[in-house]
Structure 1
């Protein structure tokens, strides 16, 4: 009579697929080793770092899927850093000049008003802009020149050769940008005086400067003399400064009433700015005529 061979015990259902379950010998009754589940195995730190790095890359690729990242322009980064260093050096020079001896960096309110934005430093930088900055790009030089002119205008200090340094900008070779000359002319309105009348007159009559002369005409009107009326009137023939020249005429005292017909010719000018200034100036000139006639009566 045949007897059935003893059957091998089946592994628990939860771990039948585990390759660590040993295949027992036929008829063996020895104690089976405990199955080590993956969750109970000690973690390898190196393997964890690899997995985390891979997961981070997958998340990044999923987030930026379909998006192309522009490459970083190292040239722009370098140029920006260089500009920052130059402006930091200028700020350091200004701060050093603003601190009087033995102040140890502690200034009172009166001292700050008296020494803020030291004009001598700004004039020195404007006169030696390439040497002080180290810039070789014309765009960077022009922007620094514009900033220096604006800073000089904000000082309101008419010494240390500020006006002379601004006037020199109109004679540089090669010529500087029109925007820089415009800022220099506006700064002259704040810093020029009667002592600079001759230089301002020459610049005001130079039509090659174009619209950059607008600030010069206004400055000459404020600090000029009665004989400058004809010089300003002559500039009406230049369309680039026509509106400014017409506006300047009504600010002279005594009022140049003999120029009424000259200004009236532009009441219908194609340029709206010219028409507006002509209308306002004509009104002032006629008002002066009426006032004179009333006084005579």
Structure 2
């Protein structure tokens, strides 16, 4: 099915702004897809991307929540770059978890992935708050790995408290393996999950148990 004309125009406007800034900086990029797919850095383009995320409704001309969420997702992906650390992109990503109406979990997961790479240690309280907010469903899945790396003791406490939520259970089990030496006290939490109805949970439980001390 062809994309609606309004959607096409919105991407043309964004591409125009990206290409203009890229040309000025001597960079080869022309579209948001170029940025998502490259392994090159583009710090000069971040002001354009941040401006678009801040003002997406006015700049894109899109009006339906579903279109706006889909359009923002590409911006989230393009901002998942090292040069966005410490910029205004980070608070915008936090705020994007709570747009109304809410984004679907798959898009929330994209935001979570971005924050997993961009959040600073000082963001720990906000990341923790996201991790325990069950209204976000599996959109918070990537947050657990960040917590466990940032503060293994508290992160482990948070992860175990959320392990009974099926929407994030396999992600938590996988994330636990970022801890080099998993304590034997985890066995009672993980062993019952070897019989979980979800095959992915069973797989992750088995792999994580292999890392748990005796």
**TM-score band, normalised by the shorter chain?**
0.7 to 0.9
Output the CA distance in 2 between the equivalents of 1:184 and 1:107: 26
Please, what TM-score do these two structures have when normalized by structure 1?
Answer: 0.62
| 2:142 aligned residue | 215
Whole-angstrom distance in 2 between the partners of 1:206 and 1:236: 13
Q: Which runs of structure 2 are paired with 1:13-92 in the superposition (5 Å)?
A: 80-92=4-16
Aligned counterpart, 2:35: none
What TM-score, normalized by structure 2, do the two folds share? Answer: 0.84
Rg (Cα) greater in structure = 1
Q: Determine which structure has greater relative contact order: mean sequence separation of CA pairs < 8 Å that are 6+ residues apart, divided by chain length.
A: 2
SS at match of 1:278: helix
Q: Compare the two structures and name the one with the higher helix fraction.
A: 2
Matches within 5 A, 1:162-173: 162-173=89-100
Aligned counterpart for 2:67 among listed residues 129, 134, 140: 140
Runs (4+) off by over 6 Å = none
How many pairs were matched up? 203
Contact 2:145 2:176 (C-alpha < 8 Å) held by counterparts: no
Residue 241 and residue 161 in structure 1: after superposition, are their counterparts in 2 closer, same or farther (change >3 A)? same
Are the aligned partners of 1:232 and 1:245 in contact in 2 as well (CA < 8 Å)? yes
Quote how far apart the aligned CAs of 1:224 are. 3.5
Q: 1:97 matched to which residue of 2?
A: 21
Unaligned runs of 5+ in 2: 29-39
Q: Helix, strand or coil: the match of 2:63?
A: coil
Pairwise CA distance, 1:82: 2.4
In 2, the alpha carbon distance for the partners of 1:256 and 1:92 equals 53
Equivalent of residue 234 in structure 1, options 161, 169, 176: 161
Summarize the Cα distance change of 1:139–1:174 in structure 2 as closer, same or farther, 3 Å threshold: closer
| 2:73/2:107 contact within 8 Å kept | yes
- C-alpha change, 1:99 and 1:236, in structure 2 (3 Å) is same
Q: CA RMSD in A?
A: 2.4
Instruction: Work out the CA distance in 2 between the residues paired with 1:245 and 1:114.
Output: 31
1:203 maps to 130
Distance in structure 2 (CA, Å) of the matches to 1:255 and 1:169:
33
User: Could you list the runs of 5+ residues in structure 1 that have no partner in the other structure?
Assistant: 1-75, 290-297
What is aligned with 2:178? 251
Tell me the SS of whatever aligns to 2:79.
helix
Equivalent residue for 2:197?
270
Q: Deviations over 1:112-154 (max 9, x none)?
A: x55367222212211221111111122221210111111112x
Secondary structure in 1 aligned to 2:178? coil
Instruction: Label 1:228 to 1:83 Cα distance change in 2 as closer, same or farther (>3 A).
Output: same
Instruction: Measure, in 2, the Cα distance between the counterparts of 1:120 and 1:169.
Output: 18
Separation in 2, partners of 1:171, 1:138: 13
> Which position in structure 2 is the counterpart of 1:121?
48
